[in-house]
Amino acid sequence: MSSDTVSGGLFERLESSGLSLRYVLGLLGLVFMAVLPLLSEFELGIGIPGVFVFAVDNLLLLKLTGALYFGMFAMSWDVVSGYTGQISFGHGVFFAVGGYTSALLNIEFGIAPALAVPVGVVLAAVTGLVIGVPALRLRGPYLSLVTLVAPLILLNVFIWQSGTFGGERGLLGEDYFLGLGSDAALEVYYIALVLFTLIFALLFAVTRSDAGRVFTAIREDEDAVAAAGLNPAKFKTFAFVLSAAVGGLAGAMFVHSPVGGARPSELMSVIVNVEVIIAAILGGMGTIVGAAIGGVFLILLQDGLSNLGDALTIPIPGTETGVVLTPPIPFSQMDFLLFAVITLVLLLVLPGGIVRAGIRGGRRVLRRVRSDREDPVATDGGRVEDSNDGENADAGRAPERAVYRNYRDALEGDDDEH
Amino acid sequence: MSVASVLVETAIISALYALVAIGFTLIFGVGGVLNLAHGASITVGAYTTYYVTRVFGYGVGVGILAAVAASGLFGAVLYLGLVKRIQDEPILVMITTLVTAVAIEQVVVVLVGTEEKSIPALLRGNADILGTNVQLNMLAVFVLSWVVIAGLFAFVNYTKAGKALLATSMSHKGAALVGIEADRINLMTWVLAGAIAGLAGVFLGSFQTASYAMGQGPLVLSFTIVVLGGIGSIKGSVLGAYLIGFLEIMTIEYISPSLTGLTPLIVLVAVLLAKPEGLFGRELVEA
């Protein structure tokens, strides 16, 4: 959006802050999200009337709330899958455990959401332990199979005990968090934004800490981690539990917001599980930033596509749906199909993710801009203090590569070795 | 329900389960990738028959042939269009095939809608076997499934192309050394797997109904059977299918019908945790 306004002068000012450009852009993005409600009644769009136009109003704020919670889902996936390389195909289990626990406590026992949400988080973390510990025995695709099946088991239990869990229709009648419904869109939005920022900061800090380095090392070579005297099982369990707790928190808060509900279709369907993976991979696996951006972007993209779908279909008078919005589900018409196709293309074209491609492209631009002034290689090559991020960005598609390699080893076994 | 009727029902339903799982195990065994769009092939088959018979008004036989052709073609397109360029990266194959599966579901939703559609039965009427009343349709499904399984077995073991397929599944390097082109074998596997899954889709649709999400259950069933039977083993798949079929009938009969979908899932998790390499190893491929 702002890339066309970039000039040498702007770069110099941004660089003088001492942070690298992408951090500044990230912070600017957050600040933009924070002041967005002040721009009320402005329209943001890509210039084609009726397509991808977002007017800044309560409706948009609610959409963004859903998008922010989905961004949290994607970040929680990235912690365990992007970093330790344990690809989870069923992260919806954690969202559902968090969301359903909180909603059930609220509906059955009248416990206020503010108290029920933490219980949901704890139970989600316990679920992370329950799935994570047995999964330590498994590697590669076998672990993915277990995670793929976990939400299906949960769904079957929900249908089996539909008196308690409401079956496929889900639960109805949970209270809003602090009583803030769709008429208090501003407050709902800011709660989501603050939570999003806190979770982002937490996960960013964890993945950039020593523990995060061990996560990455596990992804690259688990045996080497064990050989170095560190226990991979301990770190993998930690990653699972942290991820599950964050997912549970996002799920529980989402359920108590006016945009979401405790329904299988919104928390744990195959589509949700796939969307989380798509968001994180398209954003850039193993970066947290990528997952955060990917998650928010994906919901907005879907919303734009559904508007596009509306524009393409003939409006039937008297069927205005008004303010009913349920991101990220259900998409009963064309929009999700379009989205799936776009995703397939992006997966094949940009397998490393948008954020990584952006960083690489940005560096190229920076280098060209800077080359007028100084030696470009020296500024880029040897920055020791930034090594962790440098590694993430410079390694390009490394995280996926490592995961692919592990999966290949697990699948083919000793086929190629003799 | 008598023991005899449990056995009859198990025999019939398990034959269909074996048919569902065989394509999945073929791709897993030969290409080393998990095709999460396997359920989508089933959906493609079922809906092709639905269109040919209910919309265009042809007979069931034409519908079945069309389904086999369409799902075989689907397998070819999937392999050549998507999987071929990423087949060395199993996780990417899993993700793209999963997205494809979701996309196929959406195509069905857009074209046909979410309501369930019926597919004509292969045969009408009932028969009495071991004191159990069985629909002739089920019986036809049972016989045809076994014909296809036996045919595949013969193909793999006694024809040149089949032996090449077997060789590729055992060792890519070895197969390459004796001049077998892996890409051609892979394409053949995907077409075969797609066609068999499409046939299974017609059968499933003929005694249940066809719905846009009808591929999800069989997909999970395929995992379970393949994991149980061992990677890439046709014989293992048939045995696994019978084990799962038996467990499922027992669960429905003696515990609760609402647990229908749960049995294979629990078996899958239990087997993965206890013995991830499956009950039968890779070696059974040879048999």
ipTM of the shown complex: 0.75
| Tokens 């071991």 -> residue | B130
Instruction: Determine the Cα–Cα distance for residues B94 and B97; give it in Å rounded to an integer.
Output: 5
| Chain B contact present for A145, CB below 8 A | yes
Amino acid letter, residue A286: G
From A142, A160, A347, residue closest to B276, measured CB to CB? A142
Helix (H, G, I), strand (E, B) or coil at A168: coil
Q: Look at B32 and A408 and tell me if their CB atoms are within 8 Å.
A: yes
Question: Which of the two residues, B99 and B38, has the higher pLDDT score?
Answer: B38
| Chain A contact present for B57, CB below 8 A | no
Question: Which of the two residues, B232 and A388, has the higher pLDDT score?
Answer: B232
pLDDT at B149: 92
Contact (CB, 8 A) for A70 and A274: no
Instruction: Determine the Cα–Cα distance for residues B62 and B120; give it in Å rounded to an integer.
Output: 12
| Chain A contact present for B115, CB below 8 A | no
Q: Does residue B285 register a pLDDT over 90?
A: no
Instruction: Determine the Cα–Cα distance for residues A129 and A122; give it in Å rounded to an integer.
Output: 11
- Pull the structure tokens for residue A193: 């934004």
pLDDT at A339: 75
The alpha carbon of residue A333 is apart from the nearest alpha carbon of chain B, in Å, by: 6
| Chain B contact present for A351, CB below 8 A | yes
At residue A141, φ and ψ (nearest 5 deg) are -65, -25
Q: Does residue B114 register a pLDDT over 90?
A: no
Using CA coordinates, name the residue in chain A closest to B33. Answer: A411
Helix (H, G, I), strand (E, B) or coil at A254: helix
| Per-residue CA distances from B62 to B65, B68, B209 (Å) | 5, 10, 19
Of B236, B242, B223, nearest to B279 by C-alpha is B236
Q: Does residue B273 register a pLDDT over 70?
A: yes
Q: Look at B265 and A333 and tell me if their CB atoms are within 8 Å.
A: no
The alpha carbon of residue B90 is apart from the nearest alpha carbon of chain A, in Å, by: 6
Instruction: Determine the Cα–Cα distance for residues A326 and A259; give it in Å rounded to an integer.
Output: 6
Q: Look at B268 and A149 and tell me if their CB atoms are within 8 Å.
A: yes
Buried b (16+ CB within 10 A) or exposed e, B167-185: bbbbebeebeeeebebeeb
Using CA coordinates, name the residue in chain A closest to B99. Answer: A340
Instruction: Determine the Cα–Cα distance for residues A167 and A314; give it in Å rounded to an integer.
Output: 34
Q: Does residue B107 register a pLDDT over 50?
A: yes
Which residues in chain A (170-209) have CB-CB distances under 8 A to chain B?
none
| Per-residue CA distances from A208 to A79, A83, A222 (Å) | 11, 11, 19
Of B197, B211, B207, B185, nearest to B79 by C-alpha is B185
Q: Average model confidence (pLDDT) for chain B?
A: 84
Per-residue pLDDT of chain A (418 residues; tens, 9 = 90+): 444 444 445 555 545 555 666 677 778 888 887 777 777 666 666 555 555 566 667 788 888 899 999 999 999 999 988 888 888 888 999 999 999 999 999 988 888 888 899 999 999 999 999 888 877 777 767 777 778 888 888 888 888 888 888 877 888 878 888 777 777 788 888 899 999 999 999 999 998 888 888 988 888 888 888 898 888 888 989 999 999 999 999 999 999 988 888 888 888 887 888 888 888 888 888 888 888 888 888 888 877 777 665 555 444 444 444 333 333 334 445 667 777 787 778 777 776 677 777 777 777 887 777 666 554 444 444 443 333 444 444 444 456 666 666 666 665 544 443 3
pLDDT at A410: 61
- Pull the structure tokens for residue A127: 């679920």
Using CA coordinates, name the residue in chain A closest to B258. Answer: A160
| Tokens 């398209």 -> residue | A282
| Chain B contact present for A165, CB below 8 A | no
Helix (H, G, I), strand (E, B) or coil at B187: helix
Q: DSSP letters along A268-285, please? A: TSHHHHHHHHHHHHHH-T
Instruction: Determine the Cα–Cα distance for residues B35 and B96; give it in Å rounded to an integer.
Output: 9
pLDDT at B218: 87
Chain B residues with CB-CB distance to A415 below 8 A = 32, 171-173
Contact (CB, 8 A) for B216 and A148: no
pLDDT at A249: 94
Predicted TM-score of the model (pTM): 0.77
Instruction: Determine the Cα–Cα distance for residues B191 and B200; give it in Å rounded to an integer.
Output: 14
Helices (H) and strands (E) in chain B, counts: 12, 2
Q: Look at A412 and B32 and tell me if their CB atoms are within 8 Å.
A: yes
Q: Look at A153 and B269 and tell me if their CB atoms are within 8 Å.
A: yes
Instruction: Determine the Cα–Cα distance for residues A252 and A258; give it in Å rounded to an integer.
Output: 12
pLDDT at B33: 84
What average pLDDT does the segment B50-58 reach? Answer: 87
Contact (CB, 8 A) for B256 and B76: no
The alpha carbon of residue A6 is apart from the nearest alpha carbon of chain B, in Å, by: 35
Instruction: Determine the Cα–Cα distance for residues A94 and A73; give it in Å rounded to an integer.
Output: 9
Instruction: Determine the Cα–Cα distance for residues A93 and A104; give it in Å rounded to an integer.
Output: 16
Helix (H, G, I), strand (E, B) or coil at A43: strand
The alpha carbon of residue B110 is apart from the nearest alpha carbon of chain A, in Å, by: 6
Q: Look at A142 and B32 and tell me if their CB atoms are within 8 Å.
A: no
Mutate: best of A415, A416, A418, partner B, most B CBs <10 A: A415
pLDDT bracket for residue B138 (50, 70, 90): confident
Query: Is the Cα dihedral A153, A155, A160, A161 positive or negative?
Result: positive
What average pLDDT does the segment B110-135 reach? Answer: 79
Mutate: best of A133, A285, A404, partner B, most B CBs <10 A: A404
pLDDT at B155: 92
pLDDT at B277: 65
Q: Look at A332 and B109 and tell me if their CB atoms are within 8 Å.
A: yes
At residue A15, φ and ψ (nearest 5 deg) are -70, -30
- Pull the structure tokens for residue A42: 């402005």
| Chain A contact present for B92, CB below 8 A | yes
Chain A residues with CB-CB distance to B82 below 8 A = 344, 348
From B99, B261, B282, residue closest to A274, measured CB to CB? B99
| Chain B contact present for A271, CB below 8 A | yes
Q: Look at A145 and B90 and tell me if their CB atoms are within 8 Å.
A: no
The alpha carbon of residue A376 is apart from the nearest alpha carbon of chain B, in Å, by: 35
Percent pLDDT > 70 in chain B is 95
Interchain CB contacts (distance < 8 Å): A and B: 127
Instruction: Determine the Cα–Cα distance for residues A90 and A327; give it in Å rounded to an integer.
Output: 19
Chain B residues with CB-CB distance to A270 below 8 A = 98, 102, 216
Instruction: Determine the Cα–Cα distance for residues A261 and A172; give it in Å rounded to an integer.
Output: 8
pLDDT at B281: 54
Percent pLDDT > 90 in chain B is 25
Which residues in chain B (247-286) have CB-CB distances under 8 A to chain A?
256, 258-259, 261-262, 265-266, 268-269, 272-273, 276, 282
Chain A residues with CB-CB distance to B85 below 8 A = 348
From A153, A340, A407, residue closest to B103, measured CB to CB? A340
pLDDT at A7: 46
Chain B residues with CB-CB distance to A146 below 8 A = 268-269, 272-273
Instruction: Determine the Cα–Cα distance for residues B188 and B61; give it in Å rounded to an integer.
Output: 24
Instruction: Determine the Cα–Cα distance for residues A55 and A156; give it in Å rounded to an integer.
Output: 41
**CA trace torsion A101, A102, A105, A110 (10° rounding):** -170
